[in-house]
Structure 1
Amino acid sequence: MPENKTPHSPTAAVDPRRWAALAVVLVAAFMDAVDVTVVHIAIPDIQAETGASTAQIQWITGGYALAFALGLITGGRLGDLFGRKRVFLVGVAGFTVTSLVCGIAGNPELLLAGRIAQGAMAALMVPQVLSIIHVTFPKNERGKVFGIYGSVMALGTLAGPLVGALLVEWNLFDLAWRPIFLVNLPLGVAGLLAGAWLIRESKADKAEKLDVTGVVLATAGLLMLVLPLTQGRELGWPAWTYLSMIGSLPVLGLFVAWERRLLARGGSPLVVLSLFERRSFAGGQGVQLLFGLASGVFFLAWTLYLQIGLGWSPLKAGLSGMPLSAAMMAGAGLSMQVLVPRFGRVVLQGGALLAAAGMAGFGLLAHHYGADIALWQTMLPLVPMGLGMGLIIAPLTDLILSEVPHEHAGSASGLTNTTTQLGQAVGVALSSVIFFGHLGSGDPASQVHAMPRAFNGSLWYVAAAFLAAFVLLFALPRRSPGTPSATGAVAEEREPAHAS
């Protein structure tokens, strides 16, 4: 009788359509990466047409990120339990429908509701991307795949403002800002049809019921932590923001206690805490947090510096970031396909130092030239920063997931994405102390003269975060299990099909 081989079994045949399936999930990841930032460029047009208040605009931009961050862990676990392909397709369908809602919204209330729902659908869709990659590709191909993934994410993050600027300026079909959402419709429909055909289904061997208590506790704890970090600066840090962040600690502690108890009773926890016993996973989460923190501080300060401090148009500001995107793509591909297989962890540490050097160089240029800095001078330090970030982002994902059993790929993926989102939220919150602290009180538009000094001050904190990541990377193994060795020999694949 032939052996029954599940898609995630180590003895299962390699999926011949895996590269086509990869294209589908990467398009979904790209859509999310773009949608995180694309709306910022269109804020003036949205406010003018819909009459949205300042508070509503803040929630239109922050509501997506908040719903996304809160749902990632649950979304990843749902894929483990009920099928990664199934949950991915539900997420893509929901993301497409909510994009339509945002695109046709005639008032700020509907647009806000659409953005929050869009973030929730992204939380179903995005964790499946990494978990589908993890269970679909054999170890000897994952280096190349994660290099491609890192390049696509880098492109999406930097393309958001540029895509938004172009769509708003083109005013397609006289729709003003609406195409920034409507452009997702053809991509979503194509992704839904292609995904249903190309992606192979996979899920945990023993599909237990969802840990509802864990979902409630995790969501409540993260909400109490992330909401103040997301909205605190705009609200002037009232007392409730501090109380909420302090209160999140016992709630998250209760969540950890519940997960341990559930696992001891033989249940299926939302987060498999034993994953943190693996150096690659635990250390990688810390680096991911610092990476998100550095991004949160840099991109907010950089955007305000270029558009308000230097008076550049959204399109010019977006174009100035293209070297960063190109360098990140090059670094991601080079690290996974050439450098990491030969040199291992030291490549990531070199990337951290390179990114820190880029930020220090940018700080020196901003300090010396002030508001007279030229376009090419703002581009120059973005090259080492982009290369450094690219050298980190792709292999870090591979290292984090390298020792994760297929059984828990979704949970690990959701937690990894949540860590990044949390880091970015902390980074944006720190900007109130770092960037806006240097800027002084009052509307940023009235503090143009202080922008270069505030931006310069922020960059040293970003450089410090990358230096801290360099140190923390020592916690990771020198090589990812299963990567080619220095002699070119590929380690034998030994992945358990079940949880350890």
Structure 2
Amino acid sequence: MSKIIELLQERSMSPSETRHRLLLPVVLAAMFMYGFDLNVVNVAIPSLQHDLRAGQVALELVVGGYAFAYAAGLVTGGRLGDLFSHRRMFLLGMTAFTAASVLCGIAQTPSELVAARLVQGLAAAMMVPQILALIMSSFTAAERPKALAWFGVTAAVSGVFGQVLGGLLLDADVLGLGWRVIFLLNLPVGLAVLSLAARVLPPAAIVRDATLDPVGVVGVSGSLALALVPLVLGRGEGWPTWCWIMLVASVPAALLTLSYERRLLARGGAPLLDLSLFGVRTFSAGLAISVAFMAYFTSSIFVVSLLLQNGLGLTPLRAGLTFAPMALAGVVAPLVGKRLIVSYGATRVILLGCAVDLVATVLLAAMLQVQGGDIGVPWLAAALALMGLGNTLILPALIGATLSGVQPRQAGIASGTLNTTQQFAGSAGLAVVGSVFFSVLGDHPSGATDYASAAEIAAWISVALVIAMAALTGVLARGSHPSAPAAARETALSTRR
């Protein structure tokens, strides 16, 4: 915030230059709020159980319902931005997100909190797709690598900061609010972002003459619901029959939706899904890498969190602070990564990040195998720091490469599709790796040794996912323009001149 104030006070810049400089921190603040709220509730679960008498299903919906509502609405949110302007949808989404956060903070029953979290997730789905679209449309080709680097670091560290700052806030018991402060904090932040966004976001573009495709909205959201609800709730419910029925039904539902979208396009309509995006090799390959990346990242954080708190007996504050080196590495990495992207190209930077992540996951698996339940927290913090370095080398380069072939008019729907894919992959990865973890752990774990053994198996799965990321990057490289690094350097030089 102090940086924003300093920028406002710089009289040497014209008003338009000041607005342009402020645009990135304003939209990234929204990205941070989304990621923070996705993860901060994990450290508040014991408090929610005590204060609201929330049961297991309610707790799973508080955590997973937000992610489900967000994923289900992302594609629609991206399309709405294309139709009614990214500025309008960003402001509307931020307003709804701030209001929903207040409803979360004042909830008196588990049902009220679950309902507010669902609204919060839908509001995030309206807001987040506009962030990438605004970056792609507001910054020049020379400016985008830096902007995307900061987007990547914000996306990567916001969740980690959610655990670190969440632990600090709960430990401090700010104003005696307990867990409520993690939601009510969004009120002053949201109002500040809205105030600045109204001044710095570019004017709303003329609305295109197109329809929303309500059948597509229902089909896409319904297909995602059939897949995500059992993935979110299945483990906690013991994978009952209805979970498998929904998962199986999601496949024909998705195929029918795609068939309808193709027919609508053939008739000259405007389908919700822009299927031409999947004909762009960089976009399709980038989505595939994103699936492996998010499955790896989400499941790794989940498993290490359980190992720290349930296995090693750390408090939420100490467990959160163990992730601090990961967050710090995530802040430092883009300072180097953005230069590497310009000099060597996005695919090489992704491969470098994969190499760092591979070292981190192999190190973690080896330490768990050798030390077991006696593993030291500093060793875990070191492995997490390497993960933070690798992840924030990969993410901005991956986003830039994935969207490199997307036309400006497709920015909103492409961003929504990318975010939906990432969210679905994270939920699926968490469900699959989490199921393996709990199967190895057993119903009655005896202590740190059992948790370490289960975490070791999960770590070796992460090794396989990182190797898959590196292999898929080869496909992405074949779809990229061979002279991309040179072109990027030339663009940067011409801009300076």
Query: Which TM-score band applies after superposition, normalised by the shorter structure?
Result: over 0.9
Identity among equivalent pairs (%): 37
Deviations along 1:275-319, whole A, 9 cap, x unmatched? 111111000000011111112321111110000111111111111
CA drift of 1:99 comes to 0.5
Deviations along 1:357-413, whole A, 9 cap, x unmatched? 210101111221222222211122223322221111001111111111111111000
Partner in structure 1 of residue 156 of structure 2: 154
Answering whether residue 328 of structure 2 is matched by residue 329 of structure 1, we say: no
Query: Partner letter of residue 144 of structure 2?
Result: R
Partner in structure 2 of residue 272 of structure 1: 274
Alignment CA distance shift 1:166-1:384 (3 Å): closer
Deviations along 1:409-458, whole A, 9 cap, x unmatched? 1100001001111111111111243211211124x6x5543000000110
The gaps in structure 1 that reach 5 residues or longer are 1-13, 494-500
d(CA) in 1 for partners of 2:414, 2:289 = 15
Question: Alignment partner of 1:490: what SS?
Answer: helix
Partner in structure 1 of residue 129 of structure 2: 127
Find 2:85's aligned residue among 74, 83, 86.
83
Query: Partner letter of residue 474 of structure 1?
Result: G
Q: Is the 8 A contact 2:235 2:435 kept in 1?
A: no
Alignment CA distance shift 1:18-1:427 (3 Å): same
Partner in structure 1 of residue 473 of structure 2: 473
Deviations along 1:451-482, whole A, 9 cap, x unmatched? 00000110010111010010011111365699
Question: Alignment partner of 2:178: what SS?
Answer: coil
Partner in structure 2 of residue 449 of structure 1: 449
d(CA) in 2 for partners of 1:221, 1:212 = 14
Deviations along 1:204-254, whole A, 9 cap, x unmatched? 773411011000000110100111111110011111111111111111111
Answering whether residue 461 of structure 2 is matched by residue 461 of structure 1, we say: yes
Deviations along 1:150-181, whole A, 9 cap, x unmatched? 11222211100111111111111111111000
Partner in structure 2 of residue 234 of structure 1: 236
Answering whether residue 93 of structure 2 is matched by residue 96 of structure 1, we say: no
Query: Partner letter of residue 232 of structure 1?
Result: G
Query: Partner letter of residue 401 of structure 1?
Result: L
Deviations along 1:240-271, whole A, 9 cap, x unmatched? 11111111111111111111111112221111
Query: Partner letter of residue 455 of structure 1?
Result: A
Count of residues paired in the alignment: 478
d(CA) in 2 for partners of 1:215, 1:39 = 29
How is 1:97-246 mapped onto 2 (pairs within 5 angstroms)? Answer: 97-203=99-205, 206-246=208-248
Query: Partner letter of residue 389 of structure 1?
Result: N
Question: Alignment partner of 1:139: what SS?
Answer: coil
Query: Partner letter of residue 485 of structure 1?
Result: A
d(CA) in 1 for partners of 2:48, 2:175 = 16
CA drift of 1:56 comes to 1.0
Query: Partner letter of residue 490 of structure 2?
Result: A
Q: Is the 8 A contact 2:347 2:476 kept in 1?
A: yes
From the two aligned structures, give the one with the greater helix fraction: 2
Further displaced range: 247-256 or 483-492: 483-492
RMSD, aligned CA: 2.0
Find 1:18's aligned residue among 20, 23, 28.
20
d(CA) in 2 for partners of 1:118, 1:208 = 27
d(CA) in 1 for partners of 2:380, 2:487 = 38
Query: Partner letter of residue 349 of structure 1?
Result: L
Partner in structure 2 of residue 70 of structure 1: 72
Deviations along 1:325-377, whole A, 9 cap, x unmatched? 22223333322223453244122112112202210101111221222222211
d(CA) in 2 for partners of 1:340, 1:391 = 13
Q: Is the 8 A contact 2:142 2:488 kept in 1?
A: no
Q: Is the 8 A contact 1:21 1:195 kept in 2?
A: yes
> TM-score, normalised on structure 2?
0.92
Q: Is the 8 A contact 1:69 1:418 kept in 2?
A: yes
> TM-score, normalised on structure 1?
0.92
Deviations along 1:2-22, whole A, 9 cap, x unmatched? xxxxxxxxxxxx963222111
Partner in structure 2 of residue 489 of structure 1: 490
d(CA) in 2 for partners of 1:90, 1:244 = 32
d(CA) in 1 for partners of 2:55, 2:492 = 58
Further displaced range: 202-211 or 484-493: 484-493
Q: Is the 8 A contact 1:96 1:188 kept in 2?
A: yes
Further displaced range: 297-306 or 479-488: 479-488
Q: Is the 8 A contact 2:60 2:232 kept in 1?
A: no
Partner in structure 2 of residue 497 of structure 1: none
The gaps in structure 2 that reach 5 residues or longer are 1-14
CA drift of 1:63 comes to 0.9
d(CA) in 1 for partners of 2:291, 2:233 = 19
Query: Partner letter of residue 411 of structure 1?
Result: I
Alignment CA distance shift 1:232-1:433 (3 Å): same
Query: Partner letter of residue 308 of structure 1?
Result: N
Q: Is the 8 A contact 2:224 2:250 kept in 1?
A: yes
